[in-house]
Structure formats: C-alpha cells, structure tokens
Structure 1
Amino acid sequence: MHQFTPNWFALNMGTGILFLMLAQFPIPVPGIESLTRVLFWADIGFYVVFSILFVSRFVFFRHDAFRLLDHPVQSMFLGAIPMGLAPIINGAVDFYGHSHIAVHAAFDLWIVDAALSLIIGWLVPFYMFTRQEHAFERMTGVWLLPIVPAEVAAASAGTIGPHLSAQIEQFVVTIGYALWAISVPLAFGILAILFLRLVLHKLPHRDMAVSTWLALGPIGTGSLGLLLLGNASTRAFAGTGLSSIFAMAQGIGLLGGLFLWGVGIWWLGMATLITLRYLKEGLPFNMGWWGFTFPLGVYTAATFALGSETRFAIFEWFGALLTVVLTFFWTLVTTRTLQGMWTGQLFVAPCLLSPETGLPMFDPPPVTLDDELRV
C-alpha cells in the first residue's frame, strides 16, 4: 500500500483496450466473445483493487503519498487513473447496452472520468510549472499522460451518447467536443517539442524506451474521437435548430480522423524502428512496458472506425493485424507483470527514493511523550 503507484492503472488501460478490440475482431474465433467478457470483468476487479490501494495510501501515508506530485515522472501516471476507467465505461455500453442499469452506471462513471481528466490535466502541469524539476534533454512521451485523458473521455462520449436520451446525448456530445479541444492541441504541441528533443538529444535511456509508443495515444484517440463524436452529434441534434451545423460533423469527423490516422502511421513506423534499435541493448522490464498496449490499441480502434465509415476492407484487415500485435504485447507484458508481482520487484515507489542514494526516503516518526521521557 505504501509503495503503490498510479502506473498500475496502466494495466487497466492495456487490458481494457484489448477486450474492446477483440470484440471488434473481424475474423470469427471460437471463444473470443467469452474471452472479452472475462477480461472485462477482470479489468473491473483490478480497477477496484487499485483504487482502494491508491486511496488508502493517501489516507494512511498521506505525507509520503503527496510526494508523488513532486516527482517528475510518477506524477504523470496520474493520467492513467481516468484512462483506465474509460475502457470499462465503453465496455459496459458495448456489451450490456440493452440494460438501463449498465447505461446509467456508464453515464455516471463517464461524469467521474471527465472530471478526473480535467483535474489531472490542470493539476499535474501546474506542478510541472511550479514544483517539479525538468530538463529538455530528459523529456519523454510521458509528458502526454496527464494531457491525453480528456480526449479519451471525449471518445467515450461518442460511444455512450447513442445509448442515452436525446437531451442527455446532446449534453454529452457537446462536452465531448470541449474535452477533445482541451487535449488534442496541447498533445500535438508536446509531440512537436518531443520531435525536436529527439533530434537534438537522441533517444532517451533504455528504461524509458517504450515511451516512444505513447505518441500513438493522442493521435489514435484524437482520430477516434472525431469519428465517434461526428456520428453521435449528427444523430443527437437531428431535428433541432442546430441540425444544419451538426450535419457537417460526420464529414468533418471522417476527414479529420483520416488525417490524424495518417499522422499515426508515421509514429507507428518510427516507434517500431526505435524499439528494434533498443532491442540490441536489451530492454529492462518495468511498468512502462504497458505503453506498448493502450496507444497501439486506440490507434487500432481508430482503424476499425475508419473501416466502418469508409467500408474499405484495408482498414478492417489492418485493424485485425494490429489487434494480433496488441494481443501479443498484452500477453508478454501481463506475463512479465505477474512475475514482477510475485517477486515483489515492481512494488517500488520512485517518489519515496532518495535521488542521490536510491534508498528509501521516509520521514522520521514524530517524537512522542514516551520518547522525550526516555531521553
């Protein structure tokens, strides 16, 4: 509990996007539907356990827990908390959309998810600006983590909107566009700076090798959000005074989604090349390996969405290929994570380690009356 860090929620992100993509897999596979349901409920179980551990750390070890906000890397993973919740919300409506209880629960959770995304999207950059120590040459893709949750929530708005009443759907879609606008421009600003950092200072240390894949996250989710919100808004505002304006949203969503998807092709190829380069040095396992899963998964989701919109088979088959790669990554990372959990080597909070010695840095216990009397 004392050593629990928010990067464990990356497990929810990776598992969640996997069961969502397996549910869209275009090739019939025996047992795949049952597997998606098992992964869905397992993901919920992990999220509940992780949430309890995370909250308990702030309740029982409050002072040490707040050091998380000062850590220039660990604090970024706070963004994994709302992003880990988003696939559960989407899965609830995709798998159980016929149930009013599931839909209402998904809507309530989406409100929480959107609120957390905004809070983290403001809080972590504020600490970056005022408390944390950063350097341009040490910048990596993890800077995206507190920014991207808002656009993930925006994509979820396009998923749950059609399952809600007309008035609530209009509200959700409108907020979804605002969340998209809050996140995507900032994320692309970070990507531009990241490109320059890689040119000037080359690749980061191999411990951060997987962070290159994180660039696919805002690109894939940005594309997916435009596609889903475009469809949802056209339907939500049909017959209203805004119908003429939102009638264009589907076309804009398709074109914008396709443009962003094309940008993702470049980052996908570059991330692959960089990973192959790192393999020569050997990649030490850490929880950052979950970065192989969610960014690739949301890009796969955008690929499937483009296939659904354009009816081009190439998108469907490419999405199927990416799903196979995603399944391989998830299996590999899950196996290594379970091994790390068993040995206990993954239960270390870097924010509690001294930067000079690498040893635990805990505050001494308060002096009690008995201690004073013994002195």
Structure 2
Amino acid sequence: MGTGIVAVAAAGLPVDVPGLRPAARLVWLLAAVLLVALCVASAKEWRRARAHVADPVMVQFYGAPPMALMTVGGGTLLLGSDWIPLPLAVAVDVVLWSVGTAMGLATAVLVPYLMITRHRLGPDAVFGGWLMPVVPPMVSAANGALLAPHVSFGSELLLVSYALFGASLLAAFLVVAHLWGRLLTRPPMPAGTTPTLWIVLGPLGQSITAAHLLAEAARDALPAAPVFALLFGVPVWGFAMFWLALAAALTLRALRQGMPFGLPWWSFTFPVGTLVTGTTGLATSTGSQLLVAAAIALFGLLTVLWLTVATRTLRSVLRLQHGHRDQPVAVDHLATERHQ
C-alpha cells in the first residue's frame, strides 16, 4: 500500500506535471505486481498466523493487507483504466474493494477483541501500530466514494461508505488520544517503534480524503455534504500538520539514537500519501494556492520517503539472499523490542 498510494497521490495532484501520469501508471503497476507477490508469499506462511494473532504487536499489522487491496483497486480505477477498458477496471475495483472491506471490518473488530480478551498490555504497550486495524474502513469509505458513480448500487454504496467513515474516525480518535497520553506521561518510545507514530497521519489524511470524495459523490443527494467536508477537513488538516511536525522531530531524535531499519519504516509512506490526497481534495474544493503548494510539497516529501524506504528494503532483501542477517526486514524485531 505504501507504493500504491504514491501512484494514487500522483494521479490526483492539483497541478499538471508533464510525464507525471505515465510515471504514476508504472508505479501503480509495480504496486499491483507486489500485491500479487505478497499474497502468494503470505499464503505460504499461513501457519505463522496463529503466532501472530497471539502477539499484541504483530497482530496490529493485519490491518495492512485490506488497505493494500483497496489502494491497488482505487489505482486500477484512476490509472489502470488508461490501459484497460473502464468496465474491466470497475470490475477489478469492485472485487478488491469488497474483499478489502470485508477483511478490514474483520480486523477492526477482531484485533481490539483479542487485545481486550487475550493480550495482557501494560501502560507502555500502546504505539502507532494500534491504528492499523481501525483505518481500513476509512480507506473503504474513500474508495467507495470513488467507485459509487460507476456502479448501479451507487446510492447504497455511498450510505455504507459514510457509515464506514464514522466507524473508523471515532475508533481512530480513541486510539490517538490514548497514544497522546502515552507520549506525555511515559518514557520516550523505543527507537524502533518511533516510525509508527507516522501512522497517525493515515486516519487524518484518509478522513479528509474520504470526506471530500464522499461530498463530491453525494453532491446531488446531500447539497450540504461539500460544506461538511470543508468544515471537517480544514481543522483536521491543521492537526495533521501539527502531528507531522511532532512525528518528524521524534523521528530525528530516534535516528540520532540509532533507529534500526525495518518494515515499520513503511509507516513513513502510506500515511503521508493520504495526507497528499486529502490536501489535494481541499485544494480542489477551495481553489487555495496555499493548499496547492502544500499538496506539491507533501508529494515531494512522499516521493523522497518512498525512494528511501524502497531502496533500503531492496538492499536488505539482497543482503538476506546473500546470507547477511544484520539488517532486519521484518517487524518481528519490533515485537521483541516491545516485550523487552
């Protein structure tokens, strides 16, 4: 999903940059290929699922697969339709949205259920990854709004999308409040966990994006929807800028302390990508050149972060293939760190 969001963000950027859309199509294609490869690899490792479910850190990342499915699905509609017939792109998106939404709702309910009934969590246990299981319904809401104009059940889809929007938004706010309390009252988070603070930008940016897309799709049925999207989106965008500055400062601190590389570094990509799409939506609605400039700047940040993390990931994979295991490429080390 960290790769797919780069393509989606580029497709909607509120400026016409020569060559950007062809490049975005290639990134979407890369994301689609990676999604298939990861699905195959995950199927071979299904036996590890029980161990992951029992681990209060690893289980949080089960929120990633549904978001990956829907991000690639949305990219298929926005970019893949340049290469394939629109009805086929819609059909692919419907399938990926449906599967992703079902999986996302399952993680949104089952992961908190496991945390309540099975996991024994201390006051320092909370980290940004707790947002992963509750964000997928917000991704469903945004992508449902994109899909609604292309399907016969668009009205029902918009109603479901608004409900998903509310479910994810309120759950995310509860987690963010808990995370904020942990940051202020407990010792600093371990360096390896610090990248997950960027995940907070995910529900913020995605909710702004969803509010904008839902307003556009429901403009005829709900004339007040665009007003709600602005009244909601601008204050949340302000808080997102605050959190971006805070997360960046804490990340620089962790880097100076030797923050290890690992898959949690991908937390730098998708959340910032949703902030790009949300800022783009606000810029489109308001015509504000300040927001246009902010969208461009955030997309530049996203590009740098994606290139950095993708390069480090590829380098680590190659090292593992040559028998060097001093560079972790999984989240297992994060789980170990949390238990220490």
Distance 1:102 1:90 in 2: 9
Gaps of 5+ in 2: none
* 2:175 counterpart residue number: 190
For residues 202-231 of structure 1, what are the alpha-carbon distances to aligned partners after superposition, in whole Å with 9 as ceiling and x for unaligned? 321001111111111111111111111111
The amino acid across from 1:316 in the alignment is V
Q: Considering only aligned residues, what root-mean-square deviation do their CA atoms show, in Å? A: 2.2
Determine if the alignment matches structure 1 residue 73 to structure 2 residue 60. no
Q: 125, 128, 133: which is aligned to 1:141?
A: 128
Distance 1:162 1:318 in 2: 28
For residues 288-319 of structure 1, what are the alpha-carbon distances to aligned partners after superposition, in whole Å with 9 as ceiling and x for unaligned? 00011111110111000000000111111110
* 2:3 counterpart residue number: 15
The number of aligned residues is 330
Alpha-carbon distance change, 75 to 257 in structure 1, aligned in 2, over 3 angstroms: same
The Cα of 1:37 is off from its aligned counterpart by 1.2
The Cα of 1:69 is off from its aligned counterpart by 0.4
Determine if the alignment matches structure 1 residue 282 to structure 2 residue 270. no
* 1:259 counterpart residue number: 235
Q: 248, 251, 265: which is aligned to 2:224?
A: 248
Q: 27, 32, 35: which is aligned to 1:44?
A: 32
Using the size of structure 2 for normalisation, the TM-score is: 0.91
Distance 1:87 1:325 in 2: 19
Gaps of 5+ in 1: 1-12, 238-245, 359-375
The amino acid across from 2:114 in the alignment is Y
Contact 2:313-2:329 within 8 A present in 1 as well: no
* 1:232 counterpart residue number: 217
Contact 1:69-1:75 within 8 A present in 2 as well: yes
Determine if the alignment matches structure 1 residue 181 to structure 2 residue 166. yes
* 1:84 counterpart residue number: 68
Distance 2:237 2:187 in 1: 25
Identity %: 31
Alpha-carbon distance change, 234 to 274 in structure 1, aligned in 2, over 3 angstroms: same
* 2:94 counterpart residue number: 107
Distance 2:331 2:127 in 1: 19
Contact 1:138-1:204 within 8 A present in 2 as well: no
Q: 43, 48, 57: which is aligned to 1:55?
A: 43
The Cα of 1:287 is off from its aligned counterpart by 0.4
* 2:298 counterpart residue number: 322
Distance 1:30 1:257 in 2: 29
The Cα of 1:276 is off from its aligned counterpart by 2.1
The Cα of 1:259 is off from its aligned counterpart by 2.1
Work out which of the two has the higher radius of gyration on C-alpha atoms and give 1 or 2: 1
Contact 2:107-2:133 within 8 A present in 1 as well: yes
3-state SS of the aligned residue for 1:170? helix
* 1:150 counterpart residue number: 137
* 2:307 counterpart residue number: 331
The Cα of 1:56 is off from its aligned counterpart by 2.3
The Cα of 1:86 is off from its aligned counterpart by 1.8
Contact 1:93-1:163 within 8 A present in 2 as well: no
* 1:122 counterpart residue number: 109
Distance 1:68 1:252 in 2: 40
Using the size of structure 1 for normalisation, the TM-score is: 0.83
Contact 2:262-2:329 within 8 A present in 1 as well: no
Contact 2:14-2:283 within 8 A present in 1 as well: no
* 2:148 counterpart residue number: 161
Distance 1:110 1:26 in 2: 25
Alpha-carbon distance change, 204 to 283 in structure 1, aligned in 2, over 3 angstroms: same
3-state SS of the aligned residue for 1:117? helix
